[in-house]
Structure formats: C-alpha cells, structure tokens
Amino acid sequence: MAWIKLYNKTGDEKAVRTQESIEKNFGGMLPQVFQAMGRSGNFLGAASQMAAAAGNNLDPKTKELIAIAVSAANGCEYCVSAHVKSAKMIGVTDEEISGAIEVAAALSAFNTFNKAVGLDVDIK
C-alpha cells in the first residue's frame, strides 16, 4: 500500500491529460507509479519524457533487460515486475531475464566489495 496519496486523474489538468494517455497505453489501466506522480502534470510529464528519451538508441529488448537489471540491483519489486511483464510482451525469454538479474547481482556484489576496500581504478 502506498504511503503517499495516489492521484488517479485527480491532480492538476496537465496531470489528468497525461494520465489519460498513459492509461490508454496500458489498455485501460493506470499503474500506481503514474498515480503517485500524478499530483503535478509538469513532474509526471517530465518523468515520462525522460523515460521515453532514455536509451532510444537501443532496441526495446536491450532496454527492457537493462531496466530489469537496474531495478533488481536497486531492489525495486514494483519495477522488476513491471519491466518483466513489458519484456515478455516483446518476446524476451525467462532465460534472458534470469541472465540480466544474474549480471546485476554479480556487479552489485563486486561494487559493494570494491567500494568497501577503496580500490584504485587500475583498469582503464
């Protein structure tokens, strides 16, 4: 349960218009993430534009696998679930999803270790 107010088309006018567009893209469903951002149309619009612009030089499969890996590394169950669903809709396999999460887990372990021991960057 969200600990902030969710704005399901109850924010400002720009937010409502943006949410209506998002809802159409999700087949009539407005995900809670866009409700949580829905107080301010400026904020929701900027977040949506940033997401759309990020990685637009990547193919959709690669972009979703990166999103899954980063979401897993950040520990965001909501984001992992959403991006796994999106990935499967475009043909990403369970094995590819597991592989992306494995890479994130391995890198997270190395990142934690390396930060803790204060290594100099010697691979350039």
d(CA 19, CA 30): 7
| Confidence at residue 105, expressed as pLDDT on a 0 to 100 scale | 97
Residue 8 pLDDT > 90, yes or no?
Answer: yes
User: Quick check: 15 and 38 in contact, CB under 8 A?
Assistant: yes
Task: Report the chain's mean pLDDT, rounded to a whole number.
Answer: 97
| Confidence at residue 21, expressed as pLDDT on a 0 to 100 scale | 97
| 120 band by pLDDT with thresholds 50, 70 and 90 | very high
Residue 1 pLDDT > 90, yes or no?
Answer: no
Average pLDDT over residues 54-83: 97
Q: What is the pTM of this model?
A: 0.89
Average pLDDT over residues 103-122: 95
In angstroms, what is the C-alpha Rg of the chain?
Answer: 17
Written as six digits, the tokens of 67 are 């999103």
Task: Please name each of the domains of the chain with its CATH number.
Answer: 1-53 (no CATH), 57-117 (1.20.1290.10)
Residue 101 pLDDT > 90, yes or no?
Answer: yes
The kind and range of the H/E element at 88 are helix 77-89
| Confidence at residue 45, expressed as pLDDT on a 0 to 100 scale | 97
